[in-house]
């Protein structure tokens, strides 16, 4: 069967993933040349505030593609498809089939032959869900469709070992310095640099400081301790809509803590997780489960406040760290 000549592909192509690759492979299988039309920054901004820039999305495709693929900037929902005479096909997913059919209707009114519509099936992840940029931005899967925490891992207890001590003591994010006796100085600076996502505060001092400056974090994790000394002045957890208890002894990440963080991240109300034990290792799980763009803040003793915004790099680092813990069921 002879190949088609030129196939058009349109989309956002945020966080270039295996589903995108399969879509383009399908196009390459049926056509000699493939034009990828990528939504520009103006169109993308209306979709999500944390989408990658047009140039980053284009570069990701070009780094993977061969010479049969070219990339172009898409400035409107239809692109060139309604009036191009030198194209004979267009590829879509089930969600975009109607748009392709509308394009063909316009082509007919323009006196052009309709494009052959190639419908590509969805690419599924390990658990049967669709690999999509939306689910990647939601923090559910990586670009290959793998969960950041597997179901089996949620039932395991992870034990810290001394070989990770130096790595975990490094500030995992941007450090905002300030006097220890005035934590609001560093915290206020951190709040001036947050992303559009939720705020998760880890540690009693961090949570109390945010409350003192009039900010109720979306999620707070407290254990009633600071520098492993019990606090006399406890955090006022009544400021939060929902309270969740979790058990996680020092040096451990337990299923109880993982479940509590997961529940808080899927709760639209402000949530305080009261940990019986220690919450120091919680940022690892928060980053693994949180949507991209989540702001995680915690105190760095004697130095200030660390702000780390969840992104794919952060998730990869936390996955690597968790893999180095000792595991017990």
pLDDT at 32 over 80: yes
The Cα angle at residue 287 between residues 285 and 289, in degrees rounded to 5: 70
- The residues that bridge with 119 in the sheet, in sequence order, are 92
- For residues 168 and 184, the model is more confident at 184
Q: Does the residue 143 lie in any domain?
A: no
Regarding whether 163 and 86 lie in a shared domain, the answer is no
Q: Does the residue 144 lie in any domain?
A: no
Regarding whether 129 and 231 lie in a shared domain, the answer is no
Tokens of 176: 């905002």
Q: Which of 137, 161, 187 is where one domain is finished?
A: 137
Regarding whether 321 and 182 lie in a shared domain, the answer is yes
Q: Minimum mean pLDDT among 92-96, 187-191, 255-259, 260-264: which range?
A: 92-96
Distance CA 107, CA 35 (A): 18
Q: Does the residue 146 lie in any domain?
A: no
What SS3 state is found at 92?
A: strand
Q: Which of 137, 170, 187 is where one domain is finished?
A: 137
Distance CA 240, CA 221 (A): 11
**Residue whose token pair is 């950041």:** 148
**Residue whose token pair is 């990440």:** 253
pLDDT in tens, 1-25: 578 999 999 999 999 999 999 999 9
Answer yes or no: are the C-beta atoms of 286 and 218 closer than 8 Å. Answer: no
How many domains are contained in the chain? Answer: 2
pLDDT in tens, 106-143: 999 999 999 999 999 999 998 889 999 999 999 999 99
pLDDT at 210 over 80: yes
Pairing of strands 219-222, 174-177: unpaired
Tokens of 325: 């813990």
Regarding whether 105 and 201 lie in a shared domain, the answer is no
What SS3 state is found at 125?
A: coil
Q: What percent of the chain has pLDDT over 70?
A: 97
Q: Does the residue 132 lie in any domain?
A: yes
Regarding whether 287 and 174 lie in a shared domain, the answer is yes
Answer yes or no: are the C-beta atoms of 248 and 275 closer than 8 Å. Answer: yes
Regarding whether 205 and 87 lie in a shared domain, the answer is no
Specify the pTM.
0.92
Q: Which of 92, 114, 137 is where one domain is finished?
A: 137
CA distances 219 to 6, 75, 100, 170, Å, are 50, 38, 43, 23
Regarding whether 172 and 122 lie in a shared domain, the answer is no
Helices (H), the chain: 18-30, 41-45, 54-64, 97-109, 133-137, 165-169, 183-191, 204-212, 255-265, 282-289, 312-323
* pLDDT score recorded for residue 244: 97
* pLDDT score recorded for residue 228: 61
Q: Which helix (H) or strand (E) holds 84?
A: none
pLDDT at 27 over 70: yes
What SS3 state is found at 20?
A: helix
Q: Does the residue 187 lie in any domain?
A: yes
pLDDT at 195 over 80: yes
Distance CA 292, CA 288 (A): 10
Q: Does the residue 162 lie in any domain?
A: yes
Domain that holds residue 302: 151-328
Distance CA 288, CA 284 (A): 6
* pLDDT score recorded for residue 266: 94
Closest-CA residue to 24 (of 63, 50, 73, 55): 63
- The dihedral sign for the CA sequence 91, 92, 96, 97: positive
**Residue whose token pair is 């990828």:** 36
* pLDDT score recorded for residue 294: 97
Q: Does the residue 256 lie in any domain?
A: yes
Regarding whether 114 and 92 lie in a shared domain, the answer is yes
Closest-CA residue to 10 (of 49, 40, 31, 53): 40
Regarding whether 168 and 309 lie in a shared domain, the answer is yes
pLDDT at 229 over 80: no
Q: Does the residue 280 lie in any domain?
A: yes
Regarding whether 204 and 82 lie in a shared domain, the answer is no
């Amino acid at each position: 069967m002879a190949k088609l000549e030129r196939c058009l592909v349109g989309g956002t192509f945020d966080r270039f993933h295996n589903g995108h690759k399969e879509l383009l492979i399908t196009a390459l299988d049926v056509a000699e040349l493939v034009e990828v039309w990528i939504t520009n920054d103006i169109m993308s901004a209306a979709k999500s505030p944390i989408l990658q820039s047009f140039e980053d999305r284009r570069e990701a495709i070009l780094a993977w593609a061969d010479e049969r693929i070219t990339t172009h900037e898409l400035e409107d929902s239809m692109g060139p498809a309604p009036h191009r005479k030198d194209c004979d096909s267009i590829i879509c997913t089930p969600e975009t089939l109607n748009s392709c059919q509308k394009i063909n209707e316009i082509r007919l009114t323009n006196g052009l032959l309709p494009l052959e519509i190639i419908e590509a099936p969805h690419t599924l992840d390990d658990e049967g869900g669709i690999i999509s940029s939306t689910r990647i931005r939601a923090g559910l899967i990586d670009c290959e469709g793998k969960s950041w925490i597997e179901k089996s891992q949620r039932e395991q207890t992870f034990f810290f070992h001394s070989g990770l001590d130096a790595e975990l003591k490094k500030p995992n994010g941007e450090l905002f310095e300030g006097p220890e006796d005035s934590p609001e100085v560093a915290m206020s600076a951190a709040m001036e640099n947050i992303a559009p996502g939720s705020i998760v505060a880890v540690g009693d001092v961090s949570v109390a400081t945010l409350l003192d400056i009039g900010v109720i974090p979306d999620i707070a994790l407290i254990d009633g301790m600071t520098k492993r000394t019990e606090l006399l002045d406890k955090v006022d957890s009544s400021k939060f809509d929902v309270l969740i208890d979790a058990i996680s002894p020092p040096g451990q990440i337990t299923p109880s803590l993982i479940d509590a963080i997961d529940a808080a991240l899927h709760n639209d109300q402000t949530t305080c997780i009261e940990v019986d034990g220690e919450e120091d290792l919680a940022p690892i799980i928060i980053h693994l489960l949180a949507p991209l763009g989540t702001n995680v803040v915690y105190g760095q003793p004697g130095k200030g406040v660390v702000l780390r915004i969840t992104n794919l790099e952060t998730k990869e680092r936390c996955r690597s760290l968790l893999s180095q813990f000792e595991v017990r069921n």
